Amino acid sequence: MTAQLPRMRESPLLHDDSLPRENVVRHVSELIGSTPLLELVRTGTGTRLLVKLEQFNPTGSAKVRMAREMVLAAERSGELRPGGHIVEPTSGNTGTGLALMALERGYTFTAVVDDHAAKDKLRAMKAMGAQLVSLPCPPGGGPSTVERRRVATELAARTGAFRPDQHNNPHNNAGYRDLASELLTDLRTDVDYLVGAVGTGGSLCGTVEELRRLGSGVRAIGVEPEGSIIFGGVGGSYWQTGAGSPPGFPVGRNVEYDAIDEGCRVGDIDAFATARVVAKRAGILLGGTAGAAVHAALRRLVHLPAASTVVVLACDAGEKYLDTVYNEEWLLQRGLYDEAAQQRIARLWRAYDESVLLAAFDTEQTGA
């Protein structure tokens, strides 16, 4: 028989007044925010590329921030009543956020989705009790954003459900206020450039507006997949999920063009190749749109003033894309696997590393 140890009633640290009170949450949504910042790249001029790892939120994505804000605002306005029903078209991340908020607050949630969505996002929504209405993708394989919206609007009108309308709901952008203050608190310096993939526009525009309201001089760079029509250019299909607007989809009010200093496009090959290089070099798996945003930032670092602070918003993690972005067979079947692209990106990254060594050598030689 093993001797019974006396049960500990109090933590030995209980009387240490420098510690906070008990640190336990009762709802998963209380864990939203305070996501980490990772320095991915540094250059010889002291410029840094930092990634805000939004996959550390519950549901593994930034979008839970805005899902919470939209639901709480709808409760305040009376659009959402106890026991109500929420209907929204989603590529998955907004849906998992809404699924979480619905289950915590006693609503039912129907997500209108398509085959373009990452399978694991659909499984996650289902696991949290969401109902899925699944639509086929249009020929060519792009997202069925137009049809998803039509079906969701019709379903909400027929059932009297609350439809958050993430593309036009101002509480989407407002959901990122905390993200802005987290950046300033963690950095203790200004953010010079904020780079983010744009879908509804909420995460980039919401963060940038709050940063500027707090006094920041940040410049915002929006990134969309090649084939998306948010910043102009030729429309077509793309495999990045969550970001972009396909041809025919009206860009919503939450893409605030006045708040974005520069819009650019990154193709699927470069987006996915960058995510794969980051995985190999840093040991963290980013989603495909985060790969695109890192790509846009990496290419700009050399042109930026010395000691710039560049923050990339990583909307989600690569664990949601093990079947796609991190699956060579899937990439090869779609002509998206490009060894040369990965080598180019790795070379660029190495050149930045070497510029740090060079700067150190220079300082040693000249004493500057």
- Name the strand (E) or helix (H) holding 42: strand 37-42
Smallest separation, CB 319 to ligand PLP (Å)? 12
Sign of dihedral through CA atoms 328, 334, 339, 343?
negative
Question: Letter for the amino acid at 161?
Answer: A
Q: Which residue has the tokens 């070379």?
A: 347
**Minimum CB distance to ligand PLP smaller for 164 or for 202:** 202
95, 202, 227, 246: which one binds ligand PLP (CB under 6 A): 202
- C-alpha dist (Å) from residue 166 to 53, 123, 270, 319: 22, 21, 28, 24
Q: Which region among 3-11, 69-77, 88-96, 208-216 touches ligand PLP (by CB under 6 A)?
A: 88-96
Smallest separation, CB 279 to ligand PLP (Å)? 16
**Minimum CB distance to ligand PLP smaller for 319 or for 353:** 319
Count, residues near ligand PLP per rule CB under 6 A: 18
**Minimum CB distance to ligand PLP smaller for 271 or for 304:** 271
Q: Which region among 178-186, 202-210, 296-304, 352-360 touches ligand PLP (by CB under 6 A)?
A: 202-210
Contacts with ligand PLP in 43-82 (CB under 6 A)? 63
Question: Do 41 and 298 touch, CB atoms closer than 8 A?
Answer: yes
Smallest separation, CB 118 to ligand PLP (Å)? 8
Strand arrangement of the beta sheet that strand 131-135 belongs to: 85-89, 108-114, 131-135
**Minimum CB distance to ligand PLP smaller for 94 or for 144:** 94
Q: Is 316 in the site for ligand PLP (CB under 6 A)?
A: yes
**Minimum CB distance to ligand PLP smaller for 112 or for 315:** 315
* Contact map string, positions 248 to 287, toward ligand PLP, x by CB under 6 A: ---------------------------------------x
When CB distances to ligand PLP are compared, the closest residue is 242
67, 101, 198, 298: which one binds ligand PLP (CB under 6 A): 198
Question: Do 203 and 233 touch, CB atoms closer than 8 A?
Answer: no
Smallest separation, CB 81 to ligand PLP (Å)? 27
Q: Is 91 in the site for ligand PLP (CB under 6 A)?
A: yes
Question: Letter for the amino acid at 21?
Answer: R
HSE (side-chain half, CA atoms, 13 Å) at 356: 13
- C-alpha dist (Å) from residue 102 to 95, 234, 268, 315: 10, 38, 33, 21
Sign of dihedral through CA atoms 360, 363, 366, 367?
negative
Smallest separation, CB 96 to ligand PLP (Å)? 9
Smallest separation, CB 206 to ligand PLP (Å)? 7
Sign of dihedral through CA atoms 321, 327, 330, 333?
positive
- Name the strand (E) or helix (H) holding 260: none
242, 246, 263, 318: which one binds ligand PLP (CB under 6 A): 242
Q: What does 267-283 look like in DSSP terms, one character per residue?
A: -HHHHHHHHHHHHHHHS
Q: How many CB atoms lie within 10 A of CB 236?
A: 14
Nearest to 44 by CA among 351, 290, 267, 368: 351
Q: Is 35 in the site for ligand PLP (CB under 6 A)?
A: no
35, 59, 200, 342: which one binds ligand PLP (CB under 6 A): 200
32, 208, 264, 315: which one binds ligand PLP (CB under 6 A): 315
> Would you tell me which residues interact with ligand PLP (CB under 6 A)?
63, 91, 93-94, 197-204, 242-243, 287, 289, 315-316
